[in-house]
Structure 1
Amino acid sequence: MITIIDYGMGNLRSVQKGFEKVGFAARVTSDPRDLAAADKLVLPGVGAFRDCMANLVDGGFVEPIRAHVASGRPFLGICLGLQLLFSESEEFGLHRGLDIIPGRVVRFPADLRVAGEALKVPHMGWNQISIRRPSPILKGVADDASVYFVHSYYVVPDDPEVVATVTDYGIPFCSSIWRDNVMATQFHPEKSQQVGLTILKNFGELS
């Protein structure tokens, strides 16, 4: 069973519907005890890093998430669910994350430009991914596929080998990661039409 963590700050139903559309049952839970029985775990998220991390701590999810990752079972982070995996974020001060993936979460520079034209932050809408390491969830996804983003911060892993895809928004940034059983995307697969459904299907098929 695919288990989606409900810690009060995520686009849960659309993620659940995305899995159902590609043939996989997915349950949403706000009970951390359910994570021990999860075959595959999904951590979505929208909002501020500090508040989301506080909700994970207060909800008792931190150790069950770490235990799931340590067990080798598949894990998928989406948007803020990617950022929370990292050591710390500079959003509204410096805040500690789950520290599963060493690295930082930083804000896009204020002076982003392409061909002299200023870019808005947040980075919102469709953009392309460039595959650096073909993670299991990218099977059948084109190197220049377009996916949907909504974010003002991006991750900077300490180890460049965890970077699965890069996207350009005035600067190149890491748009997804892969390390062992941990996969996570800055973009929203559940909002990325057929490409996103392919990613969700690939995750559902992992053993």
Structure 2
Amino acid sequence: MKEYPKIPNYHKYLDKDCIAFYKMDGSNLRVEYSSKTGWYKWGTRLRLFNETDPDYGCAIPLFHKKYAQDLEKMLAKFYPKCQSAIFYMEFFGPKSFAGQHLADDEKDLVLFDINIYKKGFIDPETFLKVTESVHTPEVIYRGRLTEDFVTDVREKRFPIDEGVICKGMDNPKNPHSQWRCKIKTLDYLAKLKKVFGTGYNQYWE
């Protein structure tokens, strides 16, 4: 199952057009769908898991309740010949921080990306179109990725907590030319330093 690509910081993407999505503070999970076997494989960014997993097993019934049926309809409508697809979600609770979760916290899942077999990741505009009926991250900004926009994110001049994920296309005709970058707030940086001290960089950009 394809791992989600590592997201770099913004510097190499300055002055490119982008859509900036609200970034949730959680863990990256993935689920694979097959037209023959349905929802059959689950993983974090680095390992597989099932419903017995003490940390992430609860995400499976949550996904089936919140997303499975609607996403099957979406595939049938927009990708009727799709043999398989991987759906990427953020897993988090109200008290989650830097990928750490409390066992008694009520968890949620939010879909943020889709990879279609032999087509690659869906571009951000198409993603918004095909997922209109399901819960996805809020769009915070559309336009050029500028230093002024970065400053506005850093200073929380948008309704955000951790930060944003920016997505764009170097070539709209090439589905494999999609790029992503992350920008986090100074408030979040201060929290990381308070909790992790000199190890904060592991959770920063």
Same-fold call, TM > 0.5?
no
Higher RCO, Cα 8 Å, sep 6+: 2
Structure 2-normalised TM-score?
0.28
Larger radius of gyration: 2
Q: How does the TM-score come out when normalised to structure 1?
A: 0.28
